[in-house]
Amino acid sequence: MPVTRDVLIERVKYLRDLQRSLEGGIKECIAIAVASPIINTFIKVPQAFLAISLAVTAVIASLLLVLIKVQREISIRWREVMKDPEWWEKIPWVGVAGLIIAIASLIALILTW
């Protein structure tokens, strides 16, 4: 069963929202990493600074891997959305139906004349 264009667009919207939230999480981790040396100057516990730095580094690395996967899927889905339509998708079926109806009404008019 082929996936419709609307479903693909909704998937891309969801993935874009996920991408934005992952980027926000990375920004927050960077802010924590930048703030941890400042906090360390007041607390003076280097082990806590190292633990925070290692934890933030691990979180950034995992978020970055997920973000790369999301961006790949966005690229794939967007290519599917933007692909060229098949020849039957390019035909304006409303116009074809209208033309058939107009010809049928002309034939009916000629036959009743």
How far apart CA 14 and CA 17 sit, in angstroms, is 5
Residues in the chain: 113
Write the pLDDT tens digit of every residue in 52-107: 888 988 999 999 999 999 999 999 998 888 887 777 777 778 888 888 988 999 88
SS3 87: helix
Percent share of the chain, pLDDT over 70: 98
Question: Structure tokens of 1?
Answer: 């069963």
**What b/e string do you get for 7-39 counting C-beta neighbours within 10 Å, with b at 16 or more?**
ebeebbeebeeebeebeebeeebeebbeebeee
Task: Give the domain ranges of the chain.
Answer: 5-112
Quick one: what percent of the chain has pLDDT higher than 90? 36
